[in-house]
Amino acid sequence: MTTKPKRKRRNRRQAEGADATPPCPYTPRQLRLARRIADKMDLGATSDLDAAERLKARGIDPFRQTATLALVVDRPEHPQDGAPPAPVPVAAKPPEPALSPAERREQEIGQIQANIARRRRRKLRTLLLRLALFVGLPTAAAGWYYHQVATPLYATKSEFLILQADNAGGSGLGGLLSGTQFATSQDSIGVQSFLQSKEAMLQLDADLGFAAHFSDPAIDPIQRLAPDASVEDTYKTYLRHVTIGYDPTEGMIRMEVSATDPQVAAAFSTRLIGYAEDRVNALSAKKRTDQMQDALRSFEQAQADRRLAQQDLLRLQQQGAVLDPEGLIASLRSQISALETRRQDRELELAALRDNPRPNQARVQGVEADIARIETYLRRLNARMIDATEGETSLAELSTRIQMAQADLATRDLILQSALQQVEQTRLEANRQVRYLTTSVAPVPSEAPSYPRAFENTILAFLIFGGMYLMVSLTLSILREQVTS
């Protein structure tokens, strides 16, 4: 749209100024090239156009690249004095027509695009080379190892869970959780931690030779355990080949044991399940012991207190030489009451005899004697009564002490009975709190190797190396940008 008006204006100026100086037929670039060639040939040109005309006069086309290079190369280093340089015969070529600005811009854009395409191809080749070196080559090495070198491993899978005895009498939160996987979650987590510990590894090594099995020279060097390996190295190998997981939603413990021999893997798995069962039994026994300990202690203390109460009662009874002080006091009181009644009757009889004007002296003396004997016996009974009811060793005090001892003994009997019931209830509760391990999936030897998974591991290695290369490239690009900014 812009080149056609410019071209029309130029043609109009050329038509209007026909008598003026004709336009230069060369482009500025061609003129500069002709001036450089003329300077190299010492032609003494005064301007760029003069240089082009002098070169044409000598039969040299300064705009032909091959001829110009040949002229520069064939020029003698030391020409003879006064002798002009020998011209190189070059076929005369008419000058190229001058390019318009639009054509020149298109030509420059094409050159820029060509340079960009060339740089892109170069960077693409460099990128492919780096990918092949840092990603493809390590991935190929990993794939070769997994397919050709890695020793096949046979995996044995098993599943077991820890159950709690039925708790029909449970109440509260324990009753709500009994019978569910949450009631034994702590025990399951504890068993999982035990099977993944060095203790289980050392027991397995002592029983079945775990370290010796993985030190076999037939195993590839990467998976093989050194014969003089330390406990830490053996434990790392143990963690790689014994995988244990706990599912809290189902309460199931899943275990996978891998070895170079399927029978050995099954034996390892069976022995580890046995270790877990022993540990569960030990935990249950400890819980039962802890629960029964306080109840038994309370029962023994109640027995001791009751025995002391019985001894106190026996000592009080032996101290008074009377088994029933209250009965003795009641007997004395009844005797005194009976004697007083009899004395009153004798006194009335004596009064009746004395009312007679001529009483019988013999009967009067007999009644008086009976009254005297009754009073004497009453004084004796009153004395015994006073001795029984007064003083520090009286029967009344002794009776009170015996009553207190009997009440204390009755209280100790109730406490002992309650402690005995508590012991029985605690024993029943402890029996209901027993945990036991049950195997839902028994370990069975595998017929086909489970590891290594060559294809999956190769893809994983490719992703790992690719990610590492990407991270390093991004890091270097960011650092380069920060340094050059």
- What are the residue boundaries of the structural domains of the chain, listed by start? 25-77, 109-150+454-485, 153-296+436-453, 303-432
Candidate ranges 268-272, 378-382, 412-416; pick with highest mean pLDDT: 268-272
Q: What percent of the chain has pLDDT over 90?
A: 27
Q: Is the pLDDT of residue 341 over 70?
A: yes
* Inter-residue contact 440 to 161 (CB < 8 Å): yes
Specify the length of the chain in residues. 485
- Residue 286: Cβ within 10 Å count: 10
What does the pLDDT read at residue 177? 45
**Cβ burial, residue 88 (10 Å; 0-12/13-18/19+):** middle
Fold for domain 303-432? Helix Hairpins (1.10.287)
> Is the alpha carbon torsion for 64, 69, 74, 77 positive or negative?
positive
What does the pLDDT read at residue 256? 94
Q: Is the pLDDT of residue 208 over 50?
A: yes
What does the pLDDT read at residue 325? 61
- Residue, of 140 and 425, whose pLDDT is higher: 140
Of 91, 92, 87, 94, the C-alpha closest to 26 is: 94
- Residue, of 187 and 230, whose pLDDT is higher: 230
pLDDT tier at 81 (50, 70, 90 boundaries)? very low
- Look up residue 26 and give its DSSP letter: S
* Inter-residue contact 218 to 181 (CB < 8 Å): no
What does the pLDDT read at residue 80? 47
- The C-alpha angle 229, 233, 234, rounded to 5 degrees, equals 80
In sequence order, the β-bridge partners of residue 242 are 257
Mean predicted confidence (pLDDT) in 261-274: 93
Q: Which CATH number fits domain 153-296+436-453: 3.30.1540, 3.30.1890, 3.30.870, 1.10.3470?
A: 3.30.1890
Strand order in the sheet with 435-441: 242-247, 252-259, 154-164, 435-441
The pTM of the whole model exceeds 0.85: no
